[in-house]
Amino acid sequence: MAIQTIQTRPFPEQKPGTSGLRKKVTVFQAPHYLENFVQSIFDSLEGFAGQTLVVGGDGRYGNLEATKVILRMAAANGFGRVLVGRDGLLSTPAASCVIRKHAAFGGIVLSASHNPGGPDGDFGIKYNIGNGGPAPERITDAIFECSKNIREYRIVDEVEMALDREHEFTLDSMAVHVIDPVADYAGLMAELFDFRAISYLFQSGFRMRFDAMHAITGPYATEILQNRLGAPRGTVINGVPLADFGGGHPDPNLTYAKELVAEMFGEQALDFAAASDGDGDRNMILGHRFFVTPSDSLALLTANATLAPGYADGLAGVARSMPTSAAVDRVAEALDIDCFETPTGWKFFGNLMDAGKVTLCGEESFGTGSSHVREKDGLWAVLFWLNILAVRQQPVEALMREHWAKYGRNYYSRHDYEGVDAVSAETLMTGLREELKTLPGRQLGQLTVATADDFSYTDPVDGSVSRGQGIRIGFSEGSRIVFRLSGTGTEGATLRVYLERFEADPAHHDQDTQQALADLIAIAVDVADIQRLTGRELPTVII
C-alpha cells in the first residue's frame, strides 16, 4: 500500500476555537481542506510513531467519510494503531473515556457539538491529548501555525474499509480496531453509579424521558437506561443518530428542546426528564414542571456527590467557568474544599483534574463533568441525578428548594444574540473595554458599579495566562453582568450576556427569573448599546 505525498496550499483561518475547528460543511468539502488540518495536527505533535490514536465522532453529515480520510492519514504519518468507533461513532465523553482506558497517545474527535448538522449545517474537528481532554492552547496554537505554512500532506492509497462491524484490519502497517462505541463508556458509568438503586427507582414507577435529539447519545442512553437499568421502552426518544439530527438544532435548552419542555410542563408531566446534544457532552435537567439551571445542577451535584459510589470518599475540589453562577462556590465553602474560576472552555479544567485539585466541574452552557474523563459529559450528569433521586426519594423541585433554603438562590440567566455581524460584535466588546476604567463608582440604573474588568486567568498548575476572557461588571449589592463572544459558532458572532443576583431569603425564592433580573437586563442592554450595535430588539435565546 503506497503512501502518497499530496501538494497543497494553506487555507486562511484554520484556527481552532474554544472546541476545535468548526466551519460549514461546504467549507470542509473543499479539496484538501480537511486533509490540511489533519496534517497540521500531526505536524504539531512529536513522539507518536507506533502509538495509538482514537478516532470517532457524532455521526453528523460527513462524519464517516472524514473518519476514513483520517485513518488513511494516520497510517501514512506513522501511528501504530487506531481505535475507531463502529460506523465512525463515538460521543465526545466516550472518546475521552477510550483514550484514557487504552492509554492512547491522543484522539481526533469529529464534532460541531450542539451546532446544526446536514449538508447545509456545520462540521467540526478537534484534537484531544493523552489525558483524554481537549488540546491546550499551546497545542492548538501550534496546529494553527502549521496550518499557515503547510505545503503537503501524507495519505495512503484509498481502500475499502468496513467500519460497520467490530473487527480488526490493517492499513499499510497500522492496525485498525473497530470497537463498540458504547461498551467502555457504559462500563465506566457502572463503576461510578449505583445501578441497582437506579433500577429499583424505575421499578417503583418512576417516570422519565430522555431526548437524544437524533444525536450521538441515543445508543448510549438506550443501552444504559433501557437495557441495563430497566427503564421502560420509549424512555429514550429521538434515539437514532441522524446525519442532520432530524432537521433539528441539537442543543439541549429550553428553546431547542421545546417538545420535551412542553411535555414536562404539561398536564401529563413526568417525574424527570433530560436531553443531550449533538456529541453527547451537554445536558438539560427537568423535573415535574421545573427547570434546573446548569449552574444549580452543578451546585446540587456537588452538595450530594457522596451519595454516588464513585464519589463516596468526597471531592478534592470543584471548578466552574467564570460566566457560570457562583452557586457552587457556596457549596464548596460549606464543604471546605477549593473552588476554582476558569475561562470558558473545558480544556481549562484538564490541568486542575490532572493535578488532583478538582473532582467536579461545570459550565453554564449545559456542561457538567468530573475527573472520570476530561470532557463534559451529558449522560453522566443524568445518571448522577438519577442516583441522587434514587437515594433521596424526593422530587426534583423539592431537592432544589431544599438546596436553596440551605445555600441561597442565585437568580441567573443567559441571553444569546446569535448570528450577529462579527464586526459589530467586536465593536460592542471594544466599546465596553474602553469604559472599564471609568465604570467603577458609576450609577447604572439604581445600582452602583463596584468592579469592572476583562477576566484574566493564571493557571495554578502550569502558570499559563489567558487574557480577554470576558468583561465583568460587578455591583455593590453583589449582582453582576458578564459579556463575552462565543467561540463555538461558524457564522457571524454570538454575543452572550450573563446576569446574576444572589438571594439568601427563602421567602424570595419564588420569583420569576427574568423578573428578578429585570433591572440587570435593562442595564446590560443600555451599557453595551446592544440594540443599536446588533440591530436586535430581543435575544435569540434566553436561558
Active-site positions read 113
Distance CA 517, CA 82 (A): 50
State the virtual CA torsion across 322, 284, 401, 202 in degrees, nearest 10: -140
Distance CA 127, CA 350 (A): 14
Distance CA 327, CA 400 (A): 12
Distance CA 346, CA 360 (A): 12
Q: What CA–CA distances, in Å, run from 465 to 19, 36, 136, 148?
A: 18, 29, 12, 24
Our separate counts of H helices and E strands in the chain read 18, 27
Contact predicate 61/340, CB 8 Å? no
In 80-137, which ranges are E strands?
81-89, 106-110, 122-128
Residue with cell 468583561: 471
Contact predicate 413/514, CB 8 Å? yes
Nearest Cα to Cα of residue 494 among 482, 503, 505, 485 = 485
Distance CA 199, CA 201 (A): 5
Distance CA 40, CA 20 (A): 13
Contacts of range 192-197, beta carbons closer than 8 Å, 24 or more positions apart: 192/308, 192/309, 192/310, 192/311, 192/372, 192/380, 192/383, 193/308, 193/309, 193/310, 193/383, 193/384, 193/386, 193/387, 194/308, 194/309, 194/387, 194/390, 194/391, 195/228, 195/229, 197/387, 197/390, 197/391
Nearest Cα to Cα of residue 225 among 234, 216, 214 = 234
Distance CA 125, CA 67 (A): 10
The helix/strand/coil state of 363 is strand
The helix/strand/coil state of 236 is strand
Sign of the Cα torsion 296, 327, 521, 492 reads negative
